[in-house]
């Protein structure tokens, strides 16, 4: 209901009469009045003029269910949105939802994560109200060994969305980060619950350093869209575009259970492509030129003894510019 009113307000060219809203949504004037009050409390500036109706003057930079939902009509991710001011971790929330039987597309967004998670249980810094911290639920009919490609699909979606919304070129640092000028702008954490040959569900968590003004000294290799672009971006708009891009890339991926159709775009956004990389696996390391990823998401590295395929997530890759 709040989402629908918001959608109408956004679509309206100028004033929208209370009578119109009542008729379109088949609700009472009192119900409309209550929703307007709620929206104002959430930071929306809504003018009301007698005989003319309501007019939306300003949208707050928030990632509420209504704000995201109004941008995700007819999308996989618009049907079940969980918004929290504060949460332990959006990945953990989606796992809870999954275990309780939630449908594919269920989305969790929070303004602040107390236990934001990076890979292998590392912490992910998620300051309040300035980033995009979100996770969503997938139930793909994939073999578990193909699920790691979901991280690559998400990276491509984020890169495309940042380009569209902010006009910035965020490159993909295979497998699960995005960087601008060698500094981290986004991290992706894909988790999975599976049997041998069957995925119960996958959780894709995406953290984007959107409007963060500055980072502490301990994070010298992090940056934000604000720092790189010199202005604030509408987080709900960016989040919605990421999710729409993901949905589109996900369909392409599922159609062939391979990254084939996404490869050329993905590889054109790969930060290390054509440059010297060092692949570290346990105590061993391997040097060569990164040539791109293949349709299974493996990184192709040209070494003196030929092309080696590095399995997704099996290693950490260091570029020559020293960024880890």
Q: Does 139 bind its own copies (CB under 8 A)?
A: no
Nearest residue (CB) to its own copies, 31 versus 300: 300
Q: Does 218 bind its own copies (CB under 8 A)?
A: no
User: Could you tell me the end-to-end alpha-carbon distance of the chain, in angstroms, rounded to an integer?
Assistant: 46
CA distance 26 to 69: 20
User: Contacts with its own copies in 157-196 (CB under 8 A)?
Assistant: 175-176, 189-196
- Phi then psi dihedrals of residue 320, to 5 deg: -70, -15
Nearest distance from C-beta of residue 280 to its own copies, angstroms: 12
Q: How far is CA 244 from CA 26, 77, 137, 194, in A?
A: 29, 8, 14, 26
Do 180 and 230 touch, CB atoms closer than 8 A?
no
Q: Would you say 97 is a known binding-site residue?
A: no
Q: Would you say 125 is a known binding-site residue?
A: no
Nearest distance from C-beta of residue 93 to its own copies, angstroms: 13
Q: Would you say 89 is a known binding-site residue?
A: yes
* Nearest C-alpha neighbor of 134 from the set 64, 61, 70: 64
Give the count of beta carbons closer than 10 Å to the beta carbon of residue 115: 13
| Binding segment toward its own copies, per CB under 8 A, in 17-25, 142-150, 234-242, 255-263 | 142-150
Task: Rule CB under 8 A: choose which of 151, 171, 209, 223 binds its own copies.
Answer: 151
DSSP β-ladder status, 132-138 and 199-208: antiparallel
Binding residues: 89-91, 113, 184
Contact residues for its own copies, defined by CB under 8 A: 119-120, 143-145, 147-148, 151, 175-176, 189-198, 200, 311-315
């Amino acid at each position: 209901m709040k989402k629908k009113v918001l959608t109408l307000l956004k679509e309206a060219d100028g004033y929208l009469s209370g009578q119109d809203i009542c008729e379109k949504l088949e609700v009472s004037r009192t119900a409309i009045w209550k929703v307007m009050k709620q929206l104002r409390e959430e930071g929306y500036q809504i003018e009301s003029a007698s005989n003319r109706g309501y007019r939306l003057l300003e949208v707050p930079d928030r990632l509420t269910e209504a704000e995201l939902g109004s941008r995700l009509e007819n999308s996989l991710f618009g049907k079940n949105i969980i918004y929290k001011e504060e949460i332990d971790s959006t990945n953990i929330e989606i796992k809870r939802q999954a275990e309780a039987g939630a449908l594919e597309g269920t989305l969790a967004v929070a303004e602040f994560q107390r236990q934001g998670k990076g890979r292998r249980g590392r912490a992910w810094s998620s300051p309040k109200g300035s980033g995009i911290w979100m996770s969503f639920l997938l139930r793909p009919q994939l073999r578990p060994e193909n699920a790691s490609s979901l991280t690559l699909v998400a990276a491509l979606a984020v890169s495309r969305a940042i380009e569209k919304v902010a006009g910035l070129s965020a490159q993909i640092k295979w497998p699960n980060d995005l960087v601008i000028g060698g500094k981290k702008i986004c991290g992706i954490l894909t988790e999975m619950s599976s049997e041998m040959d069957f995925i119960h569900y996958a959780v894709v968590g995406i953290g984007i350093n959107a409007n963060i003004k500055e980072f502490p000294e301990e994070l010298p290799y992090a940056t934000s869209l604000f720092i790189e672009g010199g202005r604030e971006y509408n987080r709900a708009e960016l989040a919605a575009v990421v999710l729409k891009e993901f949905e589109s890339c996900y369909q392409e991926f599922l159609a062939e259970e391979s990254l084939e159709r996404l490869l050329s775009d993905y590889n054109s956004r790969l930060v290390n492509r054509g440059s010297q990389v060092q692949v570290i696996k346990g105590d061993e390391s391997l040097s060569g030129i990164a040539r791109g990823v293949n349709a299974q998401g493996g990184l192709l590295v040209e070494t003196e003894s030929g092309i080696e395929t590095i399995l997704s997530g099996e290693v950490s890759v260091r570029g020559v510019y020293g960024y880890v």
